[in-house]
Amino acid sequence: MRRSLKLVLGSVGAAALVYLYYTEVKPVVIFGLRSDYAKAIPYEKTPEGIDSLRAESCGTCHREIYEEWKTSIHARAYEDPFFQAYWKRDGNIWICLNCHTPLENQQPTLIKEIPRGRVEKAIQVANPHYDPEYQKEAITCAACHVREGVIMGPFDDSVAPHPTKFDPSFRTTQVCYRCHNVVSGPAQLYRVGPCGTYVEYEGKFFMQERGMICQSCHMPEVERPVTNGGPIRQGRRHLWRGGHDPDMVKRAVGVQVKAYPARPKAGEQVRFTLTLINAGAGHKIPTGDPDRHFTVEFIVQDKQDKVLDRRTDTMGRWILWQPAIVELYDNRLLPLASRDYTFSYRLPTNQDRMTLKTLVRYHILTDDQHEMLKNKYGLTAEDPYSFTIYERNFPLSENLEAALNETAYDPRFACATATAQSG
């Protein structure tokens, strides 16, 4: 009897601990709260001299900047089909909007209190200033440039029909900090937060020696009038190309291929080494969402393109999501770092016209996650979620050396080089 009572009490105690863990410790989202993004950017009135906060109103005078913004992922951060599917999976929790539609004017509710830091228990009231059409503009002009009825910017000598103020943060990485340095929370054992690009930035070579900041790559400099008919200034393009843009990823990555022997004969074993280099990013690659990863593939094919052998390696973050978030492994490349991937294959004595295909692909999410989002959470768009950033076929014959040397000078592979080793 006494033993049965102990078992019952133990079971009740264990159940209570599990309940407390999931209701009071483990966050319902994959990041923790930080005061600057725990609430939306406070309500902004329209500055004097302009007719609304809409991006199109800004575009009346800042036409080129407006046209660039329209093509950016910032402009689509709310309506992006992947965000919408992931957000639905997370129960449309309000906290995600603080980066994807950051202005209070864009959000349907106001957060009055977050008891014990639990986002699911937040006390919300209807927002009388909510503009659903404005919400669709996502990271709109005012999200960065309007504070307390004043247009903020990187120039200290602006002359405009509206009030302006110089903000030095536009000339530093600080302007990116709020949303690109999402931190971890309780029961989340990340090495770096789930979207920690800001803290990954390499400060010695890129920042100190080359004077580069986030904007150097993601908002390239351009000389042009900031406003229609205005003086020519050294400004920046409002593009924010990044992990959703194949060309941007290609610019960051270098590829080098070597082979030994470089002129293999039938029956010999040939060893390939593909070196992947973080040649152009000032942060780890891949960065941002923890689902992003690279794959490096070696595929042996016969003359009918039948696959005879293959090897695939993955570079990214491996994370245990339940019952706690634990980052198990991270083999992403630091800035200027490289990693070798090797593959060996023994040539048969009686096979001709065989090739080795080398592929480097970048993935925003896995195939399984893509299927899950489509089947369970309404992802309908056919937006690409993986990109081939390097592909090359090499003949497995005595012509291999010529193919390797040709690749080294092929202008189609601006980010890639290849080398033959003849021993």
Domain shared by 110 and 218, yes or no: yes
> Do 198 and 283 belong together in one domain?
no
Question: 240: phi > 0 → left, psi -120 to 50 → alpha, else beta; which?
Answer: left
pLDDT in tens, 256-315: 999 999 999 888 999 999 999 999 899 999 999 999 999 999 999 998 999 999 999 999
Q: Is residue 10 domain-resident?
A: no
Domain span at residue 43? 25-236
Q: Are residues 184 and 271 in the same domain?
A: no
What is the percent of the chain where pLDDT is above 70? 95
pLDDT at position 415 is: 40
Strand ranges inside 216-354, DSSP E: 221-225, 232-236, 253-260, 269-278, 293-301, 307-315, 317-320, 325-330, 338-346
Query: Could you give the CA distance from residue 79 to residue 102 in angstroms, rounded to a whole number?
Result: 14
Q: How many CB atoms lie within 10 A of CB 380?
A: 10
196 lies in the same domain as 264: no
Condensed to tens digits (0 to 9), the pLDDT of residues 83-108 reads: 999 999 999 999 999 999 999 999 99
Q: Long-range contacts of range 8-14, CB-CB < 8 Å, 24 or more positions apart?
A: none
Is the per-residue pLDDT at 135 higher than 90? Answer: yes
The span from the CA of 242 to the CA of 421, in Å, is 35
Q: Does residue 251 share a domain with residue 399?
A: yes
Which of the listed residues 236, 255, 279 is the one where a domain comes to its end?
A: 236
Identify whether residues 226 and 252 lie together within a single domain: no
Of 236, 265, 297, the position where a domain reaches its end is 236
pLDDT of residue 411: 40
Instruction: Provide the number of structural domains found in the chain.
Output: 2
Give the Cα separation of 79 and 70 in Å (integer): 13
In this prediction the pTM is: 0.89
Query: What integer best gives the mean pLDDT of the chain?
Result: 90
- For residue 385, give the nearest of 356, 364, 367 by alpha carbon: 364
Strand 150-153 relative to strand 317-320, pairing: unpaired
Of the residues 236, 259, 284, which one is the last residue of a structural domain? 236
54 assigned to some structural domain: yes
Question: In terms of residues, how long is the chain?
Answer: 423
Question: Does 326 map to a domain?
Answer: no
CA distance 108 to 128: 8
Could you tell me which residues are beta bridge partners of residue 139? none
Q: Is residue 241 part of a domain?
A: no
Question: Same structural domain for residues 167 and 298?
Answer: no
Given a cut of 70, whether residue 129 has pLDDT beyond it is yes
Residue 349 binned pLDDT confidence (cut-offs 50, 70, 90): confident
| 288 in the same domain as 392 | yes
- Asked if residue 184 and residue 128 are part of one domain, the reply reads yes
Does residue 223 sit in the same domain as residue 272?
Answer: no
Same domain, 170 and 190: yes
Residue 305 resides in a domain: yes
222 and 291 share one domain = no
Supply the CATH number for residue 250's domain: 2.60.40.10
The per-residue pLDDT for 1 is: 63
